[in-house]
Amino acid sequence: MANYNFTVPSLGNKYIDFRTEIIGDSYNWSWIRPMSQVTSIAIHHTAGPDNQTPQQIAGYHVNTLGWGGVGYHFIITPDGTVYYVGDLNTARAHVKDRNESSIGICLVGSFMNGKTPKDAQIASAHVVCSRLLFESPELPNLNGWEDISGHKELGNATACPGDSWAQWKQKLIIGIPQTPPVADEGQRIIEITKLYQVIFGRTPDQEGLNSYVKSRYTIDEIRKILTESIEHRQILERAQTYKKFFALATEARDHLAIAVQKVDEISQSASL
C-alpha cells in the first residue's frame, strides 16, 4: 500500500487529507509507482456544476465508470479547499497514456465560454503546484512551471480544463495575491461615500469609489488622502474667496441700510 504523506501547511484548514474518507481505493489503485516517475502535473476541470463534491466525483468514477478509485490526486472546490484524494505514490486515471508519469489536479466547475475558476481556487492550485514543484525532494523530476499542463495539452482529444484555460493558466503560474482582510465591502462603500460628501461635498465617482473600496487603505487613511487632495484644497480656497465676498457684501448691505435710513429721515423731515 502506498501512503505518501503530502501536506500544505500554508493552506491551513483549506487543505484536507481526504484519502481515507473518499469512495474507492486511494492507496493502491490503479497501481503503485515510484515518485521519480512523475514528470508532469495535469490540470483538469470537472466540466460539471460548481457545487459538485469530491465524494460525488469519486462516486461517479467508482460506481458509474467502475474504476477502483477516484481518478485524480487532488480536487479543488471553488472556495479554494484542496482535497488530497489519491495517493501521489499511485498512478490514477486522468490522462490517457500518461497516468504513470503525471499528477492529476482537478478544479471543480466547467470553465467554458469565458468562465474561469474562482480566484480562491486558482490561488490554492498555485500553492499546491508550488509545493509539488519546488518543495518536494521526493519528486526530483518535477522542475518548474513548464511541467504544468492543461489536460488537452497532453495529447488527449478533450476540451479539459475548458476553453478559457489560456486565460487562467498564467494566473495559476503567477499566483493570486491574497486579498487584504477588507472588512465588509458594503460597509466600506457607505463610509467612503460619507467621506466624499463631508470632504468634497459630492457623491464619489464610480472609479474613485471602486479603487478606494478595493484598496488596502483604512478609512482613516482614506480620510487623510482626501483631505490632502488638490480637490479639497481648491474647495477651501473657494470657500475663502466666498467668505471675503460675503464680508464685503455684508458691509455693503449695512452701508446701504444706513443710507436708506438717512434718506427716509430726510424725506420725513422734508414732508413735515
Work out how close the CB of 165 gets to Zn ion at its nearest, in angstroms, rounded to a whole number.
10
Copy the grid coordinates of residue 26.
486511494
Work out how close the CB of 58 gets to Zn ion at its nearest, in angstroms, rounded to a whole number.
15
Nearer to Zn ion, 161 or 204 (CB): 161
H/E/C letters for each residue in 8-51?
CHHHHHHEEECCCCCCCCCCCCCEECCHHHCCEEEEEECCCCCC
Residue 19 in the binding site for Zn ion (CB under 5 A):
no
| Binding mask of the shown chain, residues 23 to 62, with x at each position contacting Zn ion by CB under 5 A | ---------------------x------------------
Work out how close the CB of 104 gets to Zn ion at its nearest, in angstroms, rounded to a whole number.
8
Work out how close the CB of 160 gets to Zn ion at its nearest, in angstroms, rounded to a whole number.
3
Neighbours of 197 (CB within 10 A): 12
Nearer to Zn ion, 118 or 151 (CB): 151
Report the residue from 88, 160, 176, 226 that binds Zn ion according to the rule CB under 5 A.
160
Work out how close the CB of 172 gets to Zn ion at its nearest, in angstroms, rounded to a whole number.
15
Residue 108 in the binding site for Zn ion (CB under 5 A):
no
Residue 151 in the binding site for Zn ion (CB under 5 A):
yes
Residues found near Zn ion in the complex (CB under 5 A): 44, 151, 160
